[in-house]
Amino acid sequence: MKSKIAIVISALFVALTMTACGSSEPADAPSVADSDKSIVQEKLNKKQTKTQASEVEEPAETEAPEADEAAPETTPAETEAAQPETDDTGTNILVAYFSRADENYNVGTIEKGNTQVVAEYIADEVGADSFHIETVTPYPTGYDECCDVAKEEQENGARPGISGSVDNMEQYDIVFLGYPIWWGDLPMAVYTFMESYDWSDKVVIPFCTHEGSGLSGTDSSIASVTGAQVLTAIDMRGSTAQELNDDTKQAVRTWLEDLGF
């Protein structure tokens, strides 16, 4: 049954990519529910409240002791203990994305993956930290070879190892999660990533690139794997993202504005 589904998805992908050839249609901003905006606002306010609280906790300025007064001695350990445990001055927004450069459909050989182009743009717009989800074993540079490896991983339910990890994941209340569609699904490495963290109280905002399949229900998969609140995603053709013309940038900006950023 599983392999039948894979065959159907494969056939669909081939059909979709054939029709996608040479097209680079402008990306559309999705329509965002008002409830998404209030959820984002609540998370952004959470950050503000944390920052204000840490400002209040700052020790009051004291007069410098006179030269003959003995200054209280503090050890480096004591000084460190006085610092807040988490860096509340940092952002509470993370852009985590999987993206592969090299040879890909409809774009030839590229230096920066299509999804990475969108990820960098989002991070710039909202002032987020970024994490590139990269597998320990890189995927083949050739498109066909990569398709074969990805298909095998999907059929086996593989969880490829990821290099590095997000420092201080607890700091982030909003996570933009970006990926290409691979065989009608998320790349398996994105499952490894999602299963590596605790998503309680986080909001996930997906974005994806593809060549005709659209989101393919990946937003629902993200919700069921992470258990997080998942807001309205944006998806666009990878070839369009690679060019990232003004229309595409505008679509991303409109989506972000509608979400309340």
Ligand X SMILES: Cc1cc2nc3c(=O)[nH]c(=O)nc-3n(C[C@H](O)[C@H](O)[C@H](O)COP(=O)(O)O)c2cc1C
* Residue 155, both tokens: 């059929």
Shortest Å, Cβ 182 to ligand X: 4
Q: Does 235 bind ligand X (CB under 6 A)?
A: no
**What number of other Cβ atoms are within 10 A of residue 209's Cβ?**
28
Contact call for residue 16 and ligand X (CB under 6 A): yes
Decide: 242 and 104 in contact? Cβ < 8 Å.
no
**CB of residue 57 vs ligand X: minimum separation in angstroms?**
42
150 or 222: whose CB is closer to ligand X?
150
Contact flag: residue 160 with ligand X (CB under 6 A): no
DSSP 181-208: -BTTB--HHHHHHHTTS--TT-EEEEEE
Q: How far apart are CA 147 and CA 138, in angstroms?
A: 13
Rank residues 133 and 231 by Cβ distance to ligand X and give the closer one. 133
Asked if 186 is part of the footprint of ligand X (rule: CB under 6 A), the reply reads: no
- Considering only residues 94 to 123 of the shown chain, the ones binding ligand X according to CB under 6 A are 99-100, 104-105, 113-116
Neighbour-count burial of 21, counting CB atoms closer than 10 A to its CB (0-12 exposed, 13-18 middle, 19+ buried): exposed
**Binders in 39-68 for ligand X, by CB under 6 A:** none
Look at the block and give the residue holding tokens 């990533």.
193
- Contact footprint for ligand X (CB under 6 A): 13, 16, 99-100, 104-105, 113-116, 143, 146-147, 150, 180-184, 209-213, 238
